[in-house]
Amino acid sequence: MNAIESLILGVFQGFSEFLPISSSGHLVILQRLFNLTSDNIVFEVSVHFGTLLSVVAVYYSDLWKMIASFFSGLFSQNIRSNFRNNEYFRLAVFVVIATIPAGLVGVLFKDFIEGIFHSVRLVGVTLIVTGVLLFLTRFAKIQNRKLGGWNSLLIGLFQAFAILPGISRSGSTISAGLFSGISRMEAARFSFLLSVPAVLGATILEGKDVLAVGVAVLDWKILLIGLISSFIVGYLSLKFLLKIVQSGKFSWFAPYCLTVGLLTLLFL
């Protein structure tokens, strides 16, 4: 892998990780179109870490309060009281609840998922599914309900579905939040906070593979280009999407996903 390929893949990772267009699906398409490869696990770890830093940069205050509240609340004498009175303890618990489905699917169906992960035809179909899902958010009734256990679980189930390449993680989780009646910004906020354990988990698993198989390490400059480009573009993409969600135009990404999915099925 050279510096240009590293930059392209880093930019694409940052651009598509948070926008509801599926980073995994676009990576499969990009590799087919330009014969690019990102099979070096060390590089994948670096770009995932870059997008993880993007979320931390935007939500560092929430994340810090959640972590502190979770561990202090977990070992407190009255957990129930803490849950009722501490917003960030509740939020941390809901993130844990929503993370469980994807964690179970990732562990139980790891081999199956890896086997289909580079299927271009599957990506075409799942991008169309993502487009339909985004379009349906136009009809979601925003009732400003509070985030709770049941809608956290619903969002988590949608995130588990997004393990398939072509299903957008942010698209599916924000859509689930909107369908459950919580506010637009609450749905977006929870989706991105939920991405931290998801991306962190993927990074750790890939890191374990690095240690297990001893893959060749790329030049540190290549890794740095991928990390920095995915961080900067990821940060800008996240900020941009928050404005889109706030303005009620989340479904605008639907035509793009439908078009790319259809073109992928027809020509790739």
pTM here is 0.91
- Asked whether residue 216 carries a pLDDT value surpassing 60, the answer given is no
Q: Where are the alpha helices (DSSP H) in 75-163?
A: 79-85, 87-108, 110-116, 120-136, 149-161
43-52 burial, b at 16+ Cβ within 10 Å, e below that, comes to bbbbbbbbbb
Dig out the tokens for 257 from the structure.
């996903």
Dig out the tokens for 179 from the structure.
């369908």
CA dihedral 71, 77, 81, 85 (to 10 degrees): -40
Tens-place pLDDT, residues 108-153: 887 788 778 778 999 999 999 999 999 999 999 878 889 999 999 9
Query: Do 257 and 21 touch, CB atoms closer than 8 A?
Result: yes
263 vs 142: CA distance, rounded Å: 33
Tens-place pLDDT, residues 152-197: 999 999 999 999 999 999 999 999 999 999 999 999 999 999 999 9
Judged by phi (left if over 0) then psi (alpha if -120 to 50, else beta), residue 97 lies in alpha
End-to-end CA distance of the chain: 24
146 CB neighbour count, 10 Å cutoff: 10
52 vs 46: CA distance, rounded Å: 10
